[in-house]
């Protein structure tokens, strides 16, 4: 725990130097909502962005707001780095979240739904159903919906039911007595998750090419069928969001996998942190629901529409309108990887840099696939953080183990919201004889590395054979689906120094022993933080010596206070610092006398910006690093992270050309941050330039026909 204590005991810096993390995250979601509002974005993609905001807010409440509420419950009064107490942060977050949700629904109801309707994509309201539509929907209700519903009348024998996290539910107000003489006046109907929330009507009765009806509308129209002989006074959607952070006792735990398997079901029933209700919900019912969930009015979100906009995410996939979506593209390949290439021979020629999603993730899959089928390969080692429930990479590891190869997999069981999938993969891998370890308890293994050990003939005509290592290092997860949606870099190399370092890190993860000195890799929680501080301070020293200097850093979040203070110091020394921060940023740019040489911009576009790239001019050495880590306390001190230098000068220049400079030139999807944490979209009156579109044009192949 020594590393963690180092972070906790770090000296306090002036509170006015920092912005609040939670408010910065909400500001990021405003930028995502800006994409939904952008008429230049294809219409169905705008709908996706609207849904992404809801999905992000769900996690924000499940984790960040839940954490604030826990601090408030414990009467925590210690301020965060920005000087705000948990109570103060919660009040600000609540106000801004309510504003954001109101803007989101206004955009949906006033702009997007009418625009979709003009394109023949209609969400049919109950008061507009034709006779044929009403008849089809009634038949659907009795055939598909009613058999799986369980209405619960509330009385002493039927207390308020346990409501699953983020599930769709209906509160019913009733009058009259049932067959047993009961007249509680209220009931709850829970919508099973097996039921689709959006139902597509047959084209013959929809009246438009693409007609949809919400499950909530179907149930509203026929809720009386569930309460025969009683009068339904009101039917209101509601949805509770719960604390979803998992906790396990480090001192009591004996088997992490078993402990998590026991803990996961409780995630669905943690303390409630938010209540969403239809705006038509009566005051009496609203107060009753708040009481049941032990929430206050600050936690209440009345919405004019369905209570879970994430469900609209499926609509673009149900609508065959390519003209309303982003153009398709085929990811390219580096020149060294030609058709029918031998991965190992290609890597021996030179290091191979992959830039996803503009370039394909398939070489990584091919790397592992050829290793599995190659009799010369004797061992495979890999870290797994997020990989999905149907991962081709995991299937390849299973196959390798069945074939008798030495397979070692470091599975991070605490990867938030991927715990269940990772537990299942770990169990399957163990069944076929793979060595499965769960990293180091208390430190999430977030490093992305894959190593293959291959027996080869000796070089230079030497007799006998040698074991040679090949590795893949990346900034993103081993997840083929997200590799099509997230921007990331990956490096395939057989550089002896890098490979020896990767081997040493695997030894540290699977065995015991002191941390060894590495040749090239920077490893959190040991050397990464100090190395980044040293690189920033070296630029400041060079600036004071009158030398040429520059720092460009691209990441998802910048929050660690000592790094921020070092950047302030470098700015005051005259270092030009360009920061590309997609999400939360606690640094204040452009403050006179503090950070006037620092700019912060955020790129929000078609792809989720996920690359971590750190560039330092370093007196002409041009140090270039790729990393799995953001500049956050958790990444520096509570995670196992890798940061690796790019050693090939050509690849350094390529990363500068592809991964940094286009984003600094972007005047289409860039948002610039001011010293108060507010963002303004960068727009050109002349020709716009989008980094993502330019990289698509340069690196991907032509769109496939049709």
Active site residues: 446
Please, which residues bridge with residue 410 across strands? Answer: 383, 437
C-alpha 575/C-alpha 86 separation (Å) is 35
Helices 21-37, 43-59: axis angle to 10 degrees equals 160
Distance CA 299, CA 94 (A): 7
- Residues 563 and 620 sit within 8 Å (Cβ to Cβ): no
Q: What angle, rounded to 10 degrees, do the helices at 86-107 and 43-59 form?
A: 160
Give the span between the Cα atoms of 281 and 277, in whole angstroms: 7
> Following DSSP, what letter does each residue of 87-119 receive, concatenated?
HHHHHHHHHHHHHHHHHHHHHIIIIIHHHHHHT
129: three-class secondary structure by DSSP:
coil
Q: Which residue has the tokens 């919405």?
A: 303
Is 559 in contact with 586 (CB distance < 8 Å)?
Answer: yes
* 3-class SS of residue 513: coil
First to last CA, the chain: 57
Which helix (H) or strand (E) segment holds residue 465: the answer is: strand 465-474
Cβ neighbours of 538 (radius 10 Å): 18
**Residue pair 32/56 in contact by the 8 Å Cβ criterion:** yes
CA-CA distances (angstroms) from residue 672 to 17, 173, 386, 619?
18, 49, 31, 28
Please answer whether residues 187 and 227 qualify as being in contact, where contact means their C-beta atoms are separated by less than 8 angstroms.
yes
Distances (CA, A) of 487 to 220, 249, 608: 43, 36, 6
Is the alpha carbon torsion for 533, 536, 539, 544 positive or negative? Answer: negative
Question: What distance in Å separates the CA atoms of residue 87 and residue 77, rounded to the nearest whole number?
Answer: 8
Task: Measure the CA dihedral 121/125/127/130, to 10°.
Answer: 50
Name beta bridge partners: 302: 277
Burial (0-12, 13-18, 19+ Cβ within 10 Å), 293: buried
Pick from 36, 22, 37, 168: nearest CA to 81: 22
Q: Which helix (H) or strand (E) holds 322?
A: none
Beta bridge partners of residue 198, listed in sequence order: 214
Is the preceding peptide bond at 248 cis, omega within 30 degrees of 0? no
For residue 440, give Cα distances in angstroms to 409, 512, 631: 13, 10, 21
Give the residue ranges of DSSP H helices in 380-495: 392-402, 419-431
**What does each C-alpha distance from 218 to 96, 133, 326 come to in angstroms?**
33, 11, 32
Backbone angles phi, psi at 381, to 5 degrees: -130, 140
The span from the CA of 274 to the CA of 202, in Å, is 36
Strand partners, 642: 523
What the block records as the tokens of 589 is 């740019």
Residue with tokens 């590309």: 580
């Amino acid at each position: 725990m020594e590393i963690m204590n180092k972070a906790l005991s770090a000296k306090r810096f002036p509170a006015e130097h920092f912005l609040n993390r939670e408010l910065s995250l909400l500001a990021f979601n405003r930028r995502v909502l800006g994409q939904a509002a952008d008429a230049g974005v294809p219409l169905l993609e705008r709908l996706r962005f609207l849904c992404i905001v809801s999905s992000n807010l769900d996690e924000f409440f499940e984790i960040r707001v839940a954490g604030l509420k826990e601090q408030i419950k414990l009467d925590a009064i210690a301020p965060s780095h920005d000087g705000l107490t948990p109570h103060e942060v919660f009040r600000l977050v609540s106000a801004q979240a309510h504003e954001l949700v109101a803007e989101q629904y206004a955009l949906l109801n006033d702009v997007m739904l009418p625009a979709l309707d003009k394109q023949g994509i209609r969400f049919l309201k109950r008061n507009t159903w034709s006779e044929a539509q009403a008849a089809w929907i009634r038949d659907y209700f009795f055939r598909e919906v009613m058999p799986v519903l369980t209405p619960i009348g509330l009385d002493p024998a039927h207390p308020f039911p346990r409501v699953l996290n983020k599930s769709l539910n209906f509160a019913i107000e009733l009058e009259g007595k049932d067959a047993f003489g009961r007249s509680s006046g209220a009931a709850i109907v829970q919508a099973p998750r097996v039921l689709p929330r959006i139902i597509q009507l047959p084209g013959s009765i929809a009246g438009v090419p693409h007609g949809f009806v919400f499950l909530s509308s179907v149930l509203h129209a026929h809720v009386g069928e569930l309460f025969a002989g009683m009068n339904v006074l009101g039917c209101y959607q509601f949805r509770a969001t719960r604390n979803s952070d998992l906790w396990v006792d480090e001192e009591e735990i004996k088997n992490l996998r078993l402990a998590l398997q026991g803990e996961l079901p409780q995630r669905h029933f943690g303390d409630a942190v938010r209540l969403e209700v239809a705006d038509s919900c009566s005051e009496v019912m609203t107060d009753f629901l708040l009481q049941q969930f032990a929430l206050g009015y600050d936690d209440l979100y009345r919405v004019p529409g369905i209570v879970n906009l994430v469900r609209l995410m499926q609509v673009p996939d149900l609508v065959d309108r390519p003209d309303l979506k982003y153009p398709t593209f085929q990811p390219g390949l580096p020149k060294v990887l030609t058709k029918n290439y031998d991965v190992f021979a290609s890597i021996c020629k030179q290091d191979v840099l992959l830039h996803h999603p503009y370039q394909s993730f398939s070489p990584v899959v091919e790397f592992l696939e050829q290793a599995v089928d190659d009799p010369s390969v004797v061992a495979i080692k890999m870290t797994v953080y997020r990989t999905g429930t149907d991962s081709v990479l995991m299937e390849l590891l299973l196959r390798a183990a069945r074939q008798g190869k030495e397979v070692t997999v470091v599975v991070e069981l605490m990867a938030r919201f991927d715990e269940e999938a990772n537990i299942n993969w770990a169990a399957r891998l163990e069944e076929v004889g793979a060595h499965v370890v769960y990293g180091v308890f208390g430190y999430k293994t977030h490093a992305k590395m894959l190593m293959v050990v291959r027996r080869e003939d000796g070089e230079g005509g030497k007799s006998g054979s040698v074991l040679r290592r090949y590795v893949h290092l990346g900034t993103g997860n081993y997840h083929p689906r997200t590799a099509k949606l997230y921007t990331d870099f990956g490096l395939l190399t057989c550089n002896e120094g890098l490979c020896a370092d990767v081997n040493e890190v695997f030894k540290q993860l699977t065995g015991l022993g002191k941390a060894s000195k590495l040749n090239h890799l920077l490893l959190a929680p040991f050397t990464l933080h100090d190395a980044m501080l040293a690189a920033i301070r070296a630029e400041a020293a060079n600036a004071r010596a009158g030398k040429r200097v520059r720092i460009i850093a691209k990441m998802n979040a910048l929050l660690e206070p000592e790094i921020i203070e070092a950047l302030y110091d470098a700015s005051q020394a005259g270092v030009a610092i360009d920061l590309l921060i997609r999400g939360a940023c606690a640094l204040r740019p452009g403050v006179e006398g503090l950070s006037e040489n620092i700019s912060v911009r955020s790129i929000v576009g078609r792809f989720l910006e996920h690359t971590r790239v750190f560039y330092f001019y370093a007196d002409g050495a041009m140090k270039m690093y790729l990393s799995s880590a953001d500049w956050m306390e958790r990444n520096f001190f509570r995670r196992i992270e890798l940061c690796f230098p790019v050693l090939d000068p050509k690849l350094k220049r390529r990363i500068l050309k592809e991964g940094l400079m286009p984003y600094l030139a972007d005047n289409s999807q860039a948002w610039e941050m001011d010293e108060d944490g507010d963002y303004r979209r960068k727009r050109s009156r002349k020709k716009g330039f989008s980094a993502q579109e330019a990289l698509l044009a340069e690196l991907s192949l032509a769109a496939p026909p049709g």
